[in-house]
Amino acid sequence: MSQRSARRISALIAVAGLALTACGGDASSVDDSTVDISVVPTDPADESTEPDVVLPTEIPTELVITDITDGEGDGAVEGDTVFVHYVGVLSADGSRFDGNFDGEPFAVTLGQGAVIKGWDDGLVGMKVGGRRQLDIPSELAYGEAGSGDAIPPNSAISFVVDMLAIVPAIDPDDEPTITVEGADAVTQLGIEDLQVGAGDEAVAGSTVVLQLIGYRGDTGEKLISTWGDPSPVTLTLVSDGTLPGILEGVQGMKVGGRRLLTIPFKDAFGDAGNSELGLPEKTDLVLVVDLFAAF
């Protein structure tokens, strides 16, 4: 079995495809020791209008956190991957330098130093559906270097951040043990719910956060797994955003759910198969999908 990063697998399955018809299916056996998924349901804020950032009365010399809306559920902790909308301005005069309320959510894993210290510290404790203002001193932002023309050296910066989803850190040991029996090629998508979720439902157009295990449909050989990668797979359920079998098969899942999809080769990688995944030509793809967030 080959292990590939979640980001690489996302690129491989994010391709345009054909329409398909969904039906029931049964192609697996599940080890009784399968571990339940720990999830936080999502409740995205209204993203139609970018919020105003209220400038601090004094330039901050330490991180100031102001919760505008509290949100629900457990707060984010170090190691969680969070998905946010945000807008950022200079604390001194309100000059806007960045924001994504009109675009795709931004994902960051907390505590890895992937963002400025003011974010790594300031997003801890936020809850899904929450809105928070961060007033960040220069020392916890871009310091003496600044950032391009937009953020001068030694600038304090202020953000309003909306928390869309929180995905807890994944333990590779929690990967489910599932045996897939090899079978003849199918002509329609097979869907089997191995575990029914209780959170938000994935619908057409949703952004979803997944863990995937892939198998050859003809032999049941395990080909790929994203459970060993710290970054989850993120896809948008649109016709030009992923394989048609995934587009159709994930819709209707709820956060916390686990679903087995038997995808006809025409709705996976077609006649050519996919050598990167080790999937031969004209071979069905079987996926075990765990849904961690939908928004």
pLDDT value, residue 26: 36
Q: What is the mean pLDDT of residues 208-225?
A: 95
Give the separation between CA 245 and CA 265, rounded to whole angstroms: 9
Q: How confident is the model at residue 10 (pLDDT cuts 50, 70, 90)?
A: low
pTM to 2 decimal places? 0.77
Q: What is the pLDDT of residues 202-212, one digit of tens each?
A: 999 999 999 99
Q: What is the mean pLDDT of residues 192-209?
A: 95
Is pLDDT larger for residue 26 or for residue 161? Answer: 161
Q: What is the pLDDT of residues 234-264, one digit of tens each?
A: 889 998 878 999 999 999 999 999 999 999 9
How many Cα atoms within 13 Å fall on the side-chain side of residue 29?
Answer: 4
Q: What is the mean pLDDT of residues 38-51?
A: 50
Task: Say if residues 248 and 25 touch (Cβ distance below 8 Å).
Answer: no
Name the percent of the chain lying above pLDDT 70: 83
Q: How confident is the model at residue 170 (pLDDT cuts 50, 70, 90)?
A: confident
Active site residue 116: yes
pLDDT value, residue 245: 95
Q: What is the mean pLDDT of residues 205-231?
A: 92
Catalytic residue among 83, 86, 292, 295: 86
Q: What is the mean pLDDT of the chain?
A: 86
Catalytic residue among 74, 98, 121, 174: 98
Catalytic residue among 13, 83, 120, 142: 142
pLDDT value, residue 2: 41
Least confident of 13-17, 24-28, 85-89, 234-238: 24-28
Active site residue 98: yes
In this structure, the chain runs to a length of 295
64-162 and 6-39+169-294 share a CATH fold: yes
Give the separation between CA 156 and CA 62, rounded to whole angstroms: 10
Least confident of 13-27, 36-50, 85-99, 118-132: 13-27
Give the separation between CA 129 and CA 84, rounded to whole angstroms: 10
Catalytic residue among 97, 101, 121, 218: 97
pLDDT value, residue 221: 97
pLDDT value, residue 241: 78
Name the percent of the chain lying above pLDDT 90: 76
What is the CATH code for 64-162? 3.10.50.40
pLDDT value, residue 169: 86
Active site residue 97: yes
Active site residue 184: no
Q: What is the mean pLDDT of residues 139-158?
A: 97
Task: Say if residues 27 and 286 touch (Cβ distance below 8 Å).
Answer: yes
Four-way CATH pick for 6-39+169-294: 3.40.50.12780, 3.40.190.10, 3.40.50.300, 3.10.50.40: 3.10.50.40
Active site residue 86: yes
Between the CA of residue 4 and those of 42, 108, 137, 202, 223, what are the distances in Å? 28, 20, 39, 25, 10
Alpha-carbon torsion (2, 266, 239, 205), positive or negative: negative
Catalytic residue among 83, 159, 269, 292: 159
Q: Is the pLDDT of residue 16 over 60?
A: no
Catalytic residue among 13, 37, 116, 263: 116
List the chain domain ranges: 6-39+169-294, 64-162
